[in-house]
Amino acid sequence: MDFSHRRCLLTVAVTAVVTAAVTSVLTPVLFARSTTTPGNGQDVRATSVILINGDGMAAAHREAARLYLAGLDGRLAMDRLPVSGQLTTSPHDPSAAVTDSAAAATAWATGVRTYNGATGVDVDGRPLAVLGQQAKAAGKSTGLVTTAQVTDASPAAFFSRTADRSAQDEIARQYLTFSRPDVILGGGEDWWLPRGAPGAWPDRPAEDPSEGSRGTRGDLVEQARRDGYHYVSSAEGLASAPRGRLLGLFANEEMFQQRPEGEGDVYAPPVDLATMTGKALDILGGNRKGFFLLVEEEGVDEFSHHNNATRVLQSMRSLERTVEVARAYVATHPDTLLVVTGDHECGGLTVENTSDTDESGSAPSTEDGPFPVHGSTLRFVMDWTTTGHTGVDVPVTAEGPLAELFTGKHPNTHLHDVLARALGI
């Protein structure tokens, strides 16, 4: 082999090594916020994120809803998302192996696992950077929509930092002074007003006399108005609200009554989750820099705690309609990452055939049903094993830029990592 040939081979080898090294450095950066949209071959950069949380929802909840709403051969909108995977749910709690909603959402919002009851702080109570505030600092619009109190654990973890999730008036105060989400829609007016000073929703309502204003941080509704928020408390007010900062509180506490079956349990939100989500997208979508929107259906978890399958299926219908609204938005805004998952499982739910001899539990962990399989003469039952949370994995489905990163099984903190990349944080 002559010298020129050896030099040529050496040059090729060095070039290959350098190229590989450069590629290994640049690829994570380039891949951080872009992906190829199936079917058009074009690179689409992520600018916005919609995260939909079916609180307490795992695989059995989705299967029961599929049978009930879509039938044996049908598919839910949340299951038609092109990418699917699994997330673990365990917290970092010295006294518990199974998570609550606060620790679960904190793992999503910060990438750090923490103890049950904590929102936005680590196991030592130290405040962490939370996605809601980080997205706002990056110039994006932000919002939260829930059928729970807007200051409940899941939204609180993305937009506040407290050692105790029960400090909901402090969480509301931090929304106005720390994270400043552009859109806040849900229940929980009681926490925004001082005790003895009811607002649009009266104290001691007939459906639940225990409800009433209980805040200790002053009149936060009035403070929100001074800060430029338009305040609404009804479906009509929401429909006519102008674009801009929006605070909507549509119940004293949750937007439903989660009592045991037949004891005043009602799922009939004054404004449905899909409508609130559509309004939020209309407002947040006006920012060319993009947005982050957290959407939560709380009824799945609350009614699973009561082993109330009828109300769980109603809540799942609400969630499904909301996913359809989000998918319609993504269809015309391909730079949006849509993720649908649950923070943990609740109820130890299984889906079974009907049987007169296969009742495996006693009150309260008993079977509910039978329920009809849509478009069929078949029926199924929903069988519960606990009134608490369980530690099983939860399914995650996604579409849009970076959705493929959810393929496979991941820790719950992985969701934070993908959302942070999509938002450029």
Average pLDDT of the segment spanning 215-235: 98
The predicted structure's pLDDT at residue 360: 59
Question: What is the arithmetic mean of pLDDT over 66-95?
Answer: 98
In terms of pTM, does the model score above 0.85? yes
Residues in the chain, total: 425
Measured between alpha carbons, how far is 385 from 82 in angstroms, rounded to an integer?
32
Q: What is the DSSP string of 164-184?
A: -TT-HHHHHHHIIIII--SEE
Cβ 106 vs Cβ 114: under 8 Å: yes
Read off the pLDDT of residues 260-312 as tens digits, 9 standing for 90 and up.
889 999 999 999 999 999 999 999 999 999 999 999 999 999 999 999 999 99
What residues act catalytically? Answer: 101
- Give the model confidence (pLDDT) of 169-221 as tens digits: 999 999 999 999 999 999 999 999 999 999 999 999 999 999 999 999 999 99
Among 166, 224, 213, smallest CA distance to 190 is for 213
How far is Cα 60 from Cα 74, in angstroms, rounded to an integer?
16
Give dist(CA 378, CA 301) in Å, integer.
27
77/72 Cα distance (integer angstroms): 15
222 falls in which pLDDT band (50, 70, 90)? very high
Identify the pLDDT of residue 338. Answer: 98
Greatest alpha-carbon pair distance for the chain in Å reads 96
pLDDT tens digits along 328-360: 999 999 999 999 999 999 999 999 999 877 665
pLDDT at 21: 39
CB 374 within 8 A of CB 68: yes
pLDDT at 45: 84
pLDDT band at 44 (very low <50, low <70, confident <90, very high): confident
Cα 271 to Cα 226: distance, rounded to the nearest angstrom: 25
* Chain centre to alpha carbon of residue 299: 12
Mean pLDDT, range 225-241, rounded to an integer: 98
Residue with tokens 């007010």: 237
Quote the tokens at residue 198. 């009811």
Write down the domain spans for the chain: 47-422
Tell me the pLDDT of the chain averaged across its residues.
Answer: 90
Is residue 49's pLDDT more than 60?
Answer: yes
For residue 36, pLDDT over 50 is answered with no
Task: For domain 47-422, give the fold.
Answer: Alkaline Phosphatase, subunit A (3.40.720)
Binding site as annotated, residues for Mg(2+): 55, 152, 154, 296, 344
**Measured between alpha carbons, how far is 272 from 161 in angstroms, rounded to an integer?**
28
Q: State the binding site.
A: 55, 152, 154, 296, 301, 305, 343-344, 389
Residue 400 tokens read as: 């849009």
CA dihedral angle for residue 379, residue 385, residue 387, residue 391, rounded to 10 degrees: -110
Structure-token pair, residue 167: 């400090």
Query: Which residues carry a binding-site annotation for Zn(2+)?
Result: 55, 301, 305, 343, 389
**How confident is the model at residue 362, as a pLDDT?**
57
Residue 364 has pLDDT above 60, yes or no: no
- pLDDT of 230 higher than 80: yes
The pLDDT of 137-161, averaged and rounded, is: 98
The three-state secondary structure class of 297 is strand
pLDDT at 26: 33
State mean pLDDT over 107-112.
98
Q: State how far the Cα of 61 lies from the Cα of 53, in Å rounded to an integer.
A: 13
Percent of residues, the chain, with pLDDT higher than 90 = 85
